[in-house]
Structure 1
């Protein structure tokens, strides 16, 4: 919530957008990494690539949205932080959890016995997490 408050307060200039979006997405990257599923390790190279792509793409999204709304009524600018956070979650989470999409996550039967791994289960889980993160941002960003 603290990051959200700063974003809403200081989200007016391009340098401020870059700083706060990068800061927010760095925080989100840590959360996404620590909450990943599965027991497979991620290499430092894969982790750094995912982090770089996620934070850069999310920051570029925020700047692009700011430029896009500059031609629209001023009230539209109020939605840029939320739209940037929502868009960034759609980018950051899949990149930080790319190994799950690529390699799959463990799938268990009703008795808790591991029956295999599924990339589709990973995609479904990541989609649900993205939607819930966007939903969690709604009250604080509007």
Structure 2
């Protein structure tokens, strides 16, 4: 496959996954359990005996959305990268390429299991998301961009 075609495939994949990361939460009901979409406020009478939950911090929803977008970008980079290296392995049968496929698969599993949207859709609770939960995803994104660039040379 030509380098120009691969770049277009990667770009389209990333754009589609980013659009999905914005569209799916907008289409989901606001009160669905596990998604963190509905803010749970403390009852008006206070919080006797630990009933009810505090409202989420102001930046919590934005941080969750940013983490979701970054996770989908990572998936959008990993899918074409896996296809590139599978094609290389098919031609060369190199154990090094097979090792790269294993690393790409592991990074893909990380991207899927760290995505708050996917966790919520599967019934889990994404928990509190702050800057320290976003930094590993940003580092993964930079590493994947470098790997894609090297792979296309």
Could you tell me the TM-score, scaled by structure 2's length? 0.41
Which of the two has higher C-alpha Rg?
2
Could you tell me the TM-score, scaled by structure 1's length? 0.43
Name the structure with the higher strand share. Answer: 1
Name the structure with the higher helix share. Answer: 1
- Higher RCO structure, 1 or 2 (CA under 8 Å, sep 6+): 2
